[in-house]
Amino acid sequence: MVRSVLLLVCCASQLSLSAPAIRSIRLNGCAARSEHELLGAISSRPGHPYSPAALRADLASIEEIYHADGYAFASAGVDTLLFTGDSAAVDVVLGIREGDRYLVGAITIAGRQGLPEEPVRNAIATHAGSILAPEALEADIAKILTLYERAGYPFASVRVAAIEAHAETATLDVRLQIDEGARVEITEIRVEGNASTQDEVILREARMHLPELYDEEKLARISNRLRRLNLFTGVSEPKLLMSDRGGILVLRVEEGRTSTFDGIVGYAPAPQAGGSGVVAGSVNIGLRNLFGTARILNVRWQKDDQVSQDIRLQYVEPWLFHLPINLGGAFQQRQQDTSYLRRVEELQSSILLSESFSLGGSVGHEETIPSAGAGPRPVANSRTLTAGVEILFDSRNDNISPTSGIYYHNAYAIGNKKILGSTPPGASAEASALQRVSLDLQWYTSPVVRNVILVGLHGRQVTNDRLEASDLYRFGGTNTLRGYRELQFSGSRIAWTNLEYRVLLAPRSFAFGFFDSGYYFLPEDPALSAPSSQSVKYGYGVGIRLETALGNVGVSFALGGGDGLSQGKIHFGLINEF
């Protein structure tokens, strides 16, 4: 019996201590703003528990609304709290004292000496007759600081010294105080953290001619350029030290592994019952920092099937004559089954116009040698001389696993193709013009943290009076249209898209699903009386890429349009940095 009485007493005590509910809430004194608008901007609502702390926050929100509209001295408070007899509910009445609306009067600037008055004035968007908004004034101060930081004043500061109200004119006079600090001239650059990379490689990315005035924006670009070299795992923001001789800029980097081994193995089941499956693959070896000089050497070998393979060598010499000009050469040889052997030698050059943008040009020599017994679709022994231009824009934040940025590459080449020796039936021995156009566009975005969307668009086109199999573009497989054999399709005009959704498991590890589509057009072949043809394909699948002690390992499973699970293609890849 005693325990029951105690329980009832405790329950009654808890009920009496519970917060009363707001039965109604009203506003008095609001003329410039509607009561409906103000009540919609606060959290206290009829039916919600009454909370003094929440009500104080609501009053502050109301005052901010008025202040942002020019009512600089508006205030809000509680007029009435009327509780019911049992204190279970409360009626709230808030009172607002709006006051007059004040606009900006005069803006004066004190302490300016190192910069002309006009650019400082032009940086201030707040002007006479406008509303004095704290956020806008803070933005104006930030613009003034940027002017000083770009003019050699890294220690400059700007503050609001006073705001003076004039009731007779309802205006606010604002006085800004500038403390310029010392003007700094950088006289020395120090490099720290590099073991194998030469100082010269890092210093040239600074693109500074000492002595040079401090420029905050220019220093920020130095860090971006160093990161984009893809030589360092970490790049600290430039640090400024002061000495008797001037400013010392410290660039600190953390070196990473700059050599890459990239291997891919793919397996495709037999296209027909009773046949054997096809194992294909490729190996890429990239040396991005030869002898610590940022010179690049790439070697690539690819096997499409039992009788077709491709090899490519490329070398790049950066910063030729100490200018932002890269010069390189490439050699490629492709053995296409028993049809032909194609060799390409190319000389390439590009000028770096910015951290992300470059223009390039190339000249090349192509040679096609038909194989003995080339089969029903023979090609001619030919030679082609080409010249081309290209545009490259790359703003990706990481080369292996980007989460944002754009990769854009557009190239155009024109050449003169000449048939050597005997020609296949229907071919002409006369020289003819050959043109090639290519486009690659990849867009990375992260709509949600640790989620990345990749959208890719790629296209190729070649034109010539009489196109042969050796002139055509080939695509399909791991790097283009997944769900099909490597380089399964060919055409004079091809295009493919890649849509990929990635879920990041670590900075360079992710699971993904994808949908690829592709198109190709084959021109007519008078020699074989074959009409032109075109087709659209698609593929889809899932995969995972993991960063391990062995390197970056990737596995994907892909299906082509209409394929069953037993016809899926499995691709295994390894990227190992050493």
Q: Provide the greatest CA pair distance for the chain.
A: 117
What's the pLDDT tens digit per position in 8-64? 333 334 434 578 999 999 999 999 999 999 999 999 999 999 999 999 999 999 999
- Are 318 and 310 contacting, i.e. CB atoms less than 8 angstroms apart? no
- Are 269 and 566 contacting, i.e. CB atoms less than 8 angstroms apart? yes
pLDDT at site 78: 94
Place of tokens 């109604």: 24
Tokens of 381: 């022994």
Place of tokens 């959208």: 455
One-letter amino acid for residue 180 of the chain: E
Domains of the chain by start residue, with CATH: 17-97 (3.10.20.310), 103-179 (3.10.20.310), 185-255 (3.10.20.310), 259-577 (2.40.160.50)
- Are 283 and 262 contacting, i.e. CB atoms less than 8 angstroms apart? yes
What's the pLDDT tens digit per position in 412-446? 999 999 888 665 555 556 778 999 999 999 999 99
pTM for the full predicted model: 0.69
Tell me how far apart the alpha carbons of residues 345 and 349 are, in angstroms, rounded to a whole number.
Answer: 14
Tell me how far apart the alpha carbons of residues 432 and 464 are, in angstroms, rounded to a whole number.
Answer: 7
Tell me how far apart the alpha carbons of residues 335 and 306 are, in angstroms, rounded to a whole number.
Answer: 11
Tell me how far apart the alpha carbons of residues 106 and 128 are, in angstroms, rounded to a whole number.
Answer: 6
Q: What is the mean pLDDT of each run of 10 residues along the chain (578 residues)?
A: 38 54 93 91 93 94 91 92 92 94 94 94 92 89 95 95 93 95 94 92 90 91 85 89 93 84 67 64 83 90 80 93 93 87 94 91 93 64 94 89 94 92 59 93 95 97 88 89 88 96 92 96 77 93 83 85 87 61
For residue 41, the surrounding DSSP H or E stretch is: none
* Number of Cβ within a 10 Å radius of residue 283: 16
Tell me how far apart the alpha carbons of residues 113 and 55 are, in angstroms, rounded to a whole number.
Answer: 48
For residue 114, give the 3-state DSSP assignment: coil
Bridge partners for 473 per DSSP: 491
End-to-end, the C-alpha distance of the chain in Å comes to 80
What's the pLDDT tens digit per position in 249-270? 999 999 877 777 777 666 666 6
For residue 378, give the 3-state DSSP assignment: coil
Tell me how far apart the alpha carbons of residues 32 and 152 are, in angstroms, rounded to a whole number.
Answer: 47
- Are 345 and 362 contacting, i.e. CB atoms less than 8 angstroms apart? no
- Are 383 and 468 contacting, i.e. CB atoms less than 8 angstroms apart? no
Tokens of 472: 């055509």
Closest by alpha carbon to 250, among 308, 334, 194?
Answer: 194
pLDDT at site 267: 64
Place of tokens 């990375």: 444
pLDDT at site 466: 78
- What is the full DSSP assignment across 125-156? ---TTS---HHHHHHHHHHHHHHHHHTT-TT-
- What is the full DSSP assignment across 323-350? SSEEEEEEEEEEEETTTEEEEEEEEEEE
Tell me how far apart the alpha carbons of residues 17 and 568 are, in angstroms, rounded to a whole number.
Answer: 67
Q: What is the 8-class DSSP label of residue 537?
A: E
What's the pLDDT tens digit per position in 301-313? 888 777 788 899 9
- Are 156 and 181 contacting, i.e. CB atoms less than 8 angstroms apart? yes
For residue 420, give the 3-state DSSP assignment: coil
Tell me how far apart the alpha carbons of residues 159 and 180 are, in angstroms, rounded to a whole number.
Answer: 11
pLDDT at site 4: 41
Whole-number average pLDDT of the chain = 87
